[in-house]
Structure 1
Amino acid sequence: MKRIQYDSYGGPETMKLEAFELRAPGTGEVAVKVKFAAINPIDWKVRNGSLKMLTGKTFPRAMGSDFSGIVTAVGPGVTRFKIGDPVFGMAQIRNGGALGEAVTAPQTFVARKPDSVSFEDAACLATPGVTAWNGLLDKAALKSGKQVFVNGCTGAVGEVSVQLARMLGATVAGTCGAQAMRRARDLGVQPLFDYRATDLSKIRERFDVVYDTAGTMAVAAGLALLRQGGAYLDINPTPAKFVRAVFNRRLKPIVCIARADILDGLAAAAGNGKLRLPIAETVRLNDAIPLIAALETGRRLAGKALVAM
């Protein structure tokens, strides 16, 4: 079996496609034969060492978070799955491994793939879906009738946030690039603003929830868009923001934390046709490293990038 891994923290040049032996699943874990993996910014953030306080100094390290595939083995105590189940989910950040032919993950980071959802579509869901859920439901406790503003509403986390918010009965406004406005309108975003041409301080409407899914808003700008009692969700957490959040409860830095109930909720939404992300490009594993490097250095796609095993 092969996977993308690296022997030291660093840039794209550290990535290698190498043979490996999948470890047996431990207590509460499942092993999955990967069919598709989705590329996410977190993949290169981990590889370049931005999260090494969490990921440690043991090498080689495997890359990749989100996957879909078939369960091939279950560890002691696994009750959610059996061998042969079609699933999707995410690897633990300290282990990675989704960008390979097989991966081991906690059963709580995995959900059964609905029959109506393709393996390609399922592979896109975990990290964007969990991040959107963590913000809108866990932190903001979003309810029907509320008004939400999503900065970056056609990025992966942005699109899931729009779809989840509308499922919950909220109305959604937001920003995106001019070329993505048709997609945003199709998702039901209204009013809609071109982020390149809009001064956020000039927006007069106020919102119950502002979610900066693009990570480009100044905290002050996000807070200024809130109604009384509103929540500003910041996808780019830093130590300084966590400290600031202690003194301003409206500021809520978001960290992607998976749970079984979240993955199951995403599966149900996708299975009901209410949640889907567009796919822009799919490559084979042998061709994945150049695509990852291109995305890391600024290439933009109108949808998710997938790796087929």
Structure 2
Amino acid sequence: MKAAVITTYQALIEIGNIHKPVIKADSVLIAVHAASINPIDDILRSGAMKDTAPLTFPHVMGYDVSGLVVEVGSDVRNIKVGDAVFARPNQDDAGAIAEFARVKASELALKPDTLGHAEAASVPLAGLTAWQALITKGKLKAGAKVLIHAGSGGVGTFAIQIAKHVGAYIATTSSGRHADLVKRLGADVVIDYNTEAFDEQLSDYDLVFDMLGGDTMKRSFKVLKKGGTMISIKGQDTEGLAAQYGVRFEGFYMEPNGTMLGELGAWIDAGAVKPVIGNTFPMEQSAAAYEELANGHSVGKIVIVIR
């Protein structure tokens, strides 16, 4: 099969021919229609996580996938051949930018009826990250005040809509040119990070969802009220700031979860959440898609169309 692969760390992405994944008893084989890309893809490609999440080469790029089931493992009972599904596979089953992908049945969900495959492929990693940060870790409730950083990005666009559906009051940081977009998604307050200091304008917030780390994360502690919560996917509280400010801090990595993805899919079918896609590329232009992602200014998700 054709796939977007790298043959070593820091290598250029190439379109090569490799063997189809071998199905396992707890998995299904998907004919991939679309995939989407995420910053973690390039972090892994760089070798920065090779001690904790080593790659096996040739490594097929991409995690988010949407397609049709063409083969079902012997232990799988809830999925059948022909089902349209979407997923964020685990590390061992990585390889969405390919003609076929293997996914554990527990990590996939039926594709939302209201979405095509390109839209569905944009959902899993970013949508689950937002869901787990706000709902699972943050325990977000109606009426709570939440600051969501990077509101126009892949995770941010989902996080704003999830928080709005819960009934929260939402502030977000974004560039000025994306202010209208994040307002349409549900943001009540938009801070232009180019011209405004969010920590000077916001206070007494219940929850901060940090996707940037570094100085932005440190400054975000000032925004929280006593007893508030900071959830971060980009840093750890190595300086003990949570204790100083009297708040809770939790750093986490998203975990694939088909049940949660199905719940998010139901919200999508109900019209509460809609994917935001910045650009699409054919598989042959996967390298160009990652170049666009690396510039850091893409809106929403970048999707790779396979079929």
Q: When the two structures are superposed, what TM-score results if normalisation uses the length of structure 1?
A: 0.92
Q: Which runs of 5 or more structure 2 residues have no equivalent in the other structure?
A: none
Question: CA-to-partner distance for each residue in 1:71-128, whole Å, 9 max, x for gaps?
Answer: 1111122123111000111122244110111110111221101222211111110011
**1:187 alignment partner in structure 2:** 185
Q: Kindly report the root-mean-square deviation, in angstroms, between the aligned alpha carbons of the 2 structures.
A: 2.0
Figure out how many residues of one structure are paired with residues of the other and give that number: 304
In structure 1, which of residues 287, 297, 302 is the aligned counterpart of residue 299 of structure 2?
302
Question: CA-to-partner distance for each residue in 1:212-271, whole Å, 9 max, x for gaps?
Answer: 13446533311111112111111203xx54795996861111211121221111111111
How far apart are residue 306 of structure 1 and its match?
1.2
Contact residue 155 and residue 213 of structure 1 kept, 8 A: no
**1:155 alignment partner in structure 2:** 153
In structure 2, C-alpha distance between the alignment counterparts of 1:274 and 1:217, rounded to whole Å: 33
1:203 aligns with 2:201: yes
In structure 2, C-alpha distance between the alignment counterparts of 1:177 and 1:294, rounded to whole Å: 17
In structure 2, which of residues 7, 15, 24 is the aligned counterpart of residue 26 of structure 1?
24
In structure 2, C-alpha distance between the alignment counterparts of 1:243 and 1:264, rounded to whole Å: 38
Percent identity at matched positions? 27
Contact residue 27 and residue 76 of structure 1 kept, 8 A: yes
Superposed structure 1 runs of 4+ greater than 3 Å apart: 214-219, 240-249
How far apart are residue 2 of structure 1 and its match?
0.7
- 1:1-309 correspondence to structure 2 within 5 Å: 1-10=1-10, 13-56=11-54, 58-215=56-213, 217-237=215-235, 241=237, 244=240, 250-296=248-294, 298=295, 300-309=297-306
In structure 2, C-alpha distance between the alignment counterparts of 1:61 and 1:245, rounded to whole Å: 39
How far apart are residue 294 of structure 1 and its match?
3.6
Query: In structure 2, do the counterparts of structure 1 residues 245 and 133 end up closer, same or farther at CA, with 3 Å as the change threshold?
Result: farther
In structure 2, C-alpha distance between the alignment counterparts of 1:243 and 1:202, rounded to whole Å: 21
Q: When the two structures are superposed, what TM-score results if normalisation uses the length of structure 2?
A: 0.92
Greater shift after overlay, 26-35 or 276-285? 276-285
In structure 2, C-alpha distance between the alignment counterparts of 1:78 and 1:137, rounded to whole Å: 28
Q: Which AA in structure 2 matches 1:308?
A: V
In structure 1, C-alpha distance between the alignment counterparts of 2:303 and 2:202, rounded to whole Å: 39
Contact residue 76 and residue 105 of structure 2 kept, 8 A: yes
In structure 2, C-alpha distance between the alignment counterparts of 1:188 and 1:38, rounded to whole Å: 24
In structure 2, C-alpha distance between the alignment counterparts of 1:289 and 1:33, rounded to whole Å: 21
Query: In structure 2, do the counterparts of structure 1 residues 220 and 55 end up closer, same or farther at CA, with 3 Å as the change threshold?
Result: closer
Question: CA-to-partner distance for each residue in 1:127-148, whole Å, 9 max, x for gaps?
Answer: 1111111111111111111111
In structure 2, C-alpha distance between the alignment counterparts of 1:63 and 1:71, rounded to whole Å: 20
Contact residue 12 and residue 287 of structure 2 kept, 8 A: no
